Amino acid sequence: MRGRSAMRESAGAIQRKANGMTADPETTLRADARRNRDQILAAAKHIFAVSGPEVPMEEIARAAGVGVGTLYRRFPDRDALVRAVAMDNFERVLIDARVIAAEETSSWRALERLLRQSVELQLSVQLAMVSHRALVILKNDPEVRRLRDEILAVLDRFVDGAKAEGKLRDDVGAGDIAILFATLLRQMRAKSPEVAAMAARRCVGIMIDGLSARPGSSLPGRPITSGDLDPDADPDLGSDLGPDLGSD
C-alpha cells in the first residue's frame, strides 16, 4: 500500500530549498526517503488541519503510507513534525503573499485574493493561532517566528493600503482579520464534506463583504492589531490547560 496522492507537492519544494535556509536534511537523503518525507509532511499538514496537532503519530504515518518507524526516523518527535509542518505552511503562504503583492496593484484586491486563497490551502494560520499546544511549540522556534512575523508584516501592508484606498473599513486592524480567518478556517461539519467545503468558501465571501468599507456600521472596541496576537507571556509551557480554569 504505497500509492498515495500527495503529488501537488513536488515542484515548489525544491525551489524552496534552493532558497537556502536549512539544506542539511534533504541533500543527504536517498530519493526514496525524500519522497516519503514529503508524503509525511503533506499528510501531517492535512491531518493537523482537520484534527489538531495531537493526533496519534500512527495515524499520520498511515495517512502518509509509511510505517511509524519511518516517521520517527525523519522527525525525532512530535514537536519536530509540528515545526516542520508550520515552516512549510508559512513559507507557502509567504510566497503566495509576495506573488500577490507583486501582481496586484490594488491593496484591497490583494487582500481579498490572499484571503480567498488561504481557504484553499486550508492551513497553518490556524495552527499557529488556534491550537494552544502548537503555539507553545512554535513560539520557541525563532525561525518559525520570523516567518510568521513576515507574513503579518505583509498583511499589515495590505491592510493599510486597502484602507487608504477606501476599500477596507477603517475600524479593523490586521489582527481582526487574522483572528477572523484563523477561526473561520477551522474545519466545519455539515451533512457532507462537499457541503462543508462549499460552506467554507461562502463564509469567506460573507466575511470579505463584511470587511469592505461601507458607511453606517461600526464595530465595538478598538481595531485589533497584529501586535495583539502575540501572547508574549511566558516562553516556557507550564501546563497548557490546567491552571486558567479558575478565571471565572
Partner DNA sequence: ACCGAAGCGGAAGGAAGTCGTCCACTAGGT
Partner DNA sequence: ACCTAGTGGACGACTTCCTTCCGCTTCGGT
What residues make contact with a copy of itself under the rule CB under 8 A?
Answer: 46-47, 50-52, 55-56, 59, 62-63, 129-130, 132, 135, 172, 175-176, 179-180, 182-184, 186-193, 195, 198-199, 201-203, 205-211, 214, 217-222, 224, 227-232, 241-243, 245-248
Handedness of CA 104, 161, 179, 214 (dihedral sign): negative
Judged by beta carbon distances under 5 to 8 A according to partner kind, the member of DNA, a copy of itself, none in contact with residue 83 is: none
Closest listed residue to residue 41, CA positions, set 14, 3, 80, 96: 80
Please provide the DSSP assignment of 16-61 as one string.
Answer: HHHT-S--HHHHTS-HHHHHHHHHHHHHHHHHHHHH-TTS-HHHHH
Closer by beta carbon to a copy of itself, 10 or else 51: 51
Closer by beta carbon to DNA, 72 or else 188: 72
Closer by beta carbon to DNA, 33 or else 121: 33
Please state, in angstroms and rounded to a whole number, the distance separating the CA atoms of residues 66 and 1. Answer: 9
Helix pair 142-164, 174-184: axis angle to 10 deg? 110
Closer by beta carbon to a copy of itself, 146 or else 201: 201
Binding site for DNA (CB under 7 A): 1-3, 5, 28-33, 36, 54, 56-58, 65-70, 72-74, 76-78, 243
